[in-house]
Amino acid sequence: MKIPQNIEPLITIMIPAHNEEVVIEGTINYLMTKLNYSNYEVIVMDDGSTDQTPVILKRLRDVYPNLRTIRIEKNKGKAHAFNIGIGFAKGKLILSNDADTVPEPDALIKYVNTLLYPNSNNVAAITANMDVRNRTKIIAKSQTVEFSSIVGIIKRTQQAVLGSIYAYSGANTLYVKKALIDVGLFRQNRATEDISIAWDHQVHGWQALFAPEIMFFMEVPENLSMLYHQRKRWAKGGTEVWLTNFKLILAHPFQSVGRTIMFIDQTLSITWAIFFWLSTILFLLQIIGYCLTQNWGQITQMLTDSAGLVCCETMVGFFQLLASLIIDDHRSKIKYFKFAPFYMLFYWIVNTLTIVTTFVSAVKTILGRGSGVWVSPKRQGDFSLSESDHINK
């Protein structure tokens, strides 16, 4: 539904930026020229950048009258930058948008239309459906499979069954400003402010929604080092939220059944990750022991049993991924199904490893030793927005 321009609500698009010289200009140019919406402003919170980001922003301010910038001298993290920016936002609706992320041209219209649905008075935020922007290398293509399986299936299921979702997609989410203020804005000592505030909203009676029909496109890591560091931050943020809400859920398990179910799911995920690595270590130690005693029959039996278990798990994973690729985005991603084996072999291992390796760090954060300083990942910035057919399809 097209909204008449004279009644379009003002939307403030907020971009936190720390050393984003590679992508910031392309993203701002896209937001200023490609969106099918007229009543919006863009605020960039320059969080202590030491590269050419401030120079680029100064030049772009002279080009776009609805672009404002806020210079934060000391890097104190993405959540801190958001909280500063909210104080300057003119709109009652705030779209968080990462510096390497672009929404589809009709995204703002679709966001507002979703808020116009009946019974949407208690909606705190709407998160969109993430997709991969740089599909050139096998790691990036594999993440197309991953995002469809995680976002396309899990978030759809959470919303359909539980009425809410576990986490927003921090790269592109439309927040209702009064809902942000109601929970005290973003927690500044959390690794993932998007997961944390989604739970804070629900604890305060707000609803967190997922809109699969609204697409946004983000740049994803293209090498193993960048990917591992990204997943460490995600894993730590999830564990922090789990620890933060542990006492509340145990004290009032029936206050919100949906939230309790999501808490149990997270508990099982953390438990499974720890069990996976403990059992793997014990398995390898047993193999070494049998090798030393030359018990080849027992080794053969262990490997056969393990292979059977892995095959069963892989088949289930294949069916889940295939279903998600068919459902998500009208089957246009089915061609990426051939990268499913790489995803299941590598990403499942990385995701469990990061949960284990960040657990102690997450506990320290909850105990008050967390840091909000962030480091922007290395951007690629080697593709043209106008040539990206999966954005303008």
Ranges of the chain whose pLDDT falls below 50: 382-389, 392-393
Residue 175 pLDDT = 95
In a domain, residue 2? The reply is: no
Task: Supply the pLDDT for residue 373.
Answer: 56
pTM greater than 0.75 (yes/no): yes
pLDDT digits (tens, 9 = 90+) for 160-185: 777 778 788 888 999 999 999 999 99
Give the helix ranges, DSSP H, for 151-256: 156-157, 177-182, 193-203, 224-244, 246-251
The CA–CA distances, whole Å, from 8 to 37, 96, 98, 234 equal 8, 18, 23, 35
Smallest Cα–Cα separation from 335: which of 343, 347, 326, 344? 326
Q: What's the pLDDT score for residue 119?
A: 67
Q: Can you give the C-alpha Rg of the chain in angstroms?
A: 22
Helix, strand, or coil (residue 98): coil
Helix (H, G, I), strand (E, B) or coil at 153: helix
CATH of the domain at 284: 3.90.550.10
Is residue 264 within a helix (H) or strand (E), and if so which, with residue range? helix 257-292
DSSP-derived pairing of the beta strands 207-218 and 123-132: parallel
**Domain assignment present for 52:** yes
Q: What percent of the chain has pLDDT over 70?
A: 85
| Parent domain of 61 | 9-393
What per-residue confidence (pLDDT) applies to 309?
Answer: 83
In the chain, the number of structural domains is 1
Alpha-carbon distance of 170 to 192, in angstroms, equals 8
Q: What is the DSSP string of 339-365?
A: GHHHIIIIIHHHHHHHHHHTHHHHHHI
Exposure string (b/e) for 168-179, b if CB count within 10 Å is 16 or more?
A: bbbbbbbbbeeb
Q: How far apart are CA 190 and CA 329, in angstroms?
A: 32
Residues 6+ apart with CB under 8 A from 158: 164, 165, 166, 210, 262
Residue-level pLDDT at 71: 93
Structural domain includes residue 179: yes
Structure confidence at residue 192 (pLDDT): 78
68 inside domain:
yes
- Measured CA to CA, the distance from residue 334 to residue 386 in angstroms comes to 23
In a domain, 348, yes or no: yes
- The pLDDT of residue 75 is 84
Phi and psi at 45, nearest 5°, equal: -95, 100
As a whole number of angstroms, the distance between CA 364 and CA 15 comes to 29
Say if 4 falls within a structural domain: no
* Confidence at residue 383, expressed as pLDDT on a 0 to 100 scale: 43
Answer whether residue 300 is part of any domain.
yes
H or E element: which one contains 272? helix 257-292
Residue 251 lies in a domain: yes
